[in-house]
Every structure is written in structure tokens, then in C-alpha cells.
């Protein structure tokens, strides 16, 4: 098992996950991941400072507003948003943060910020910089994970 797969398994073993990058537009990648996690029994928290509800659930403006201790934060937004969210994760003592990246589209569809990853790691947060949790949640994406793995295109951490 690769480090990426082990870290993904650890992240997905948590049950309270905040998702940054969910939108009022239900067609966004963040919403698809949010719904997939919720459907599989995770306690999900939508982070969107411009919305009161997302997918019928209460939306939160930031990490500090969430009433429970989080097991992880999934970031599906621009790298600049990851730079804003990571200090909040440090403050809240979130143990894991996953910054989404669509391996097929690379930087054009990436949430990965090297400065956010560095800040998280310097403060004891396990950071997954790239990849997508859907590669572990549904069959079609699992097939994509296998193909990307064979091509050497999965994250190293």
C-alpha cells in the first residue's frame, strides 16, 4: 500500500469531516464529494461563508464555527482558499487535511497549496496534497485510481 493510500484510508476512517468548497450550485465537485461522504454515514460540515445552507444542511462560515471536534478537513477550492483555511485547521487542532486535486486536469483543478501544506505539517497536521476521496468511495473512481497508479500519477503523500 502506498503512503497516499494509507493516508487516504486514515483520513476516511474519521467520521467528522468538514468540506470546504461546497457551493449553492449543486453541480460542483465539492458538492459531489460532500454528498458522497454524507451518504456513506460521515458527519459532514459544509464550509461556505456565503451560504446559510448547502445540500439542505447548515453551512458554516469557517472551521471555528463547527460545534464538534473534526477528524479531517477536505479542501476543494482554489489554493488561495487552502492558504486561508490551513491556519484555521491549526487553531482547531484538526489532525488531517486533504487538499483535492483532479489528477486528469492537474493544476487547473487543484486545491493544493505548498505553503498551506508546509504550515499544516509544521504544526503536526497530516496533509494529503492531491488526489480525490472519490477514488476510494465509488467503483468508477476506484478504476481511475488503479489507472493513475499504474501511470505513476497518484500523489506521493
Does residue 76 sit within a domain? yes
Q: Answer for the pair 14, 43: CB distance below 8 angstroms, yes or no.
A: no
Looking at residue 145, its pLDDT comes to 59
**pTM to 2 decimals?**
0.87
Compute the mean pLDDT over every residue in the chain, rounded to the nearest whole number: 86
Looking at residue 130, its pLDDT comes to 86
Total of domains in the chain:
1
Tell me the CATH number at 72.
3.40.50.720
The pLDDT tens digits of the residues spanning 105-125 come to 544 568 999 999 999 999 999
Does residue 156 sit within a domain? no
Residue range of the domain that includes 127: 3-150
Q: Mean pLDDT throughout 44-69?
A: 94
The pLDDT tens digits of the residues spanning 59-76 come to 999 999 999 999 999 999
Does residue 106 sit within a domain? yes
Does residue 155 sit within a domain? no
Amino acid at each position: 500500500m502506498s503512503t497516499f493510500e494509507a493516508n487516504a484510508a486514515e483520513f476516511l476512517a474519521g467520521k467528522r469531516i468538514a468540506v470546504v468548497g461546497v457551493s449553492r450550485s449543486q453541480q460542483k465537485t465539492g458538492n459531489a464529494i460532500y454528498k458522497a461522504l454524507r451518504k456513506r454515514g460521515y458527519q459532514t460540515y459544509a464550509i461556505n461563508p456565503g451560504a446559510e445552507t448547502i445540500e439542505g444542511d447548515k453551512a458554516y462560515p469557517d472551521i471555528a464555527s463547527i460545534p464538534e471536534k473534526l477528524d479531517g478537513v477536505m479542501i476543494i477550492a482554489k489554493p488561495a482558499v487552502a492558504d486561508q483555511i490551513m491556519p484555521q485547521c491549526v487553531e482547531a487542532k484538526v489532525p488531517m487535511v486533504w487538499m483535492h486535486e483532479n489528477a486528469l486536469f492537474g493544476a487547473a483543478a487543484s486545491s493544493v497549496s505548498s505553503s498551506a501544506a508546509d504550515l499544516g505539517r509544521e504544526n503536526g497536521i497530516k496533509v494529503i496534497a492531491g488526489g480525490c476521496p472519490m477514488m476510494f468511495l465509488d467503483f468508477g473512481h476506484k478504476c481511475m485510481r488503479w489507472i493513475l497508479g499504474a501511470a505513476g500519477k497518484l500523489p506521493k503523500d
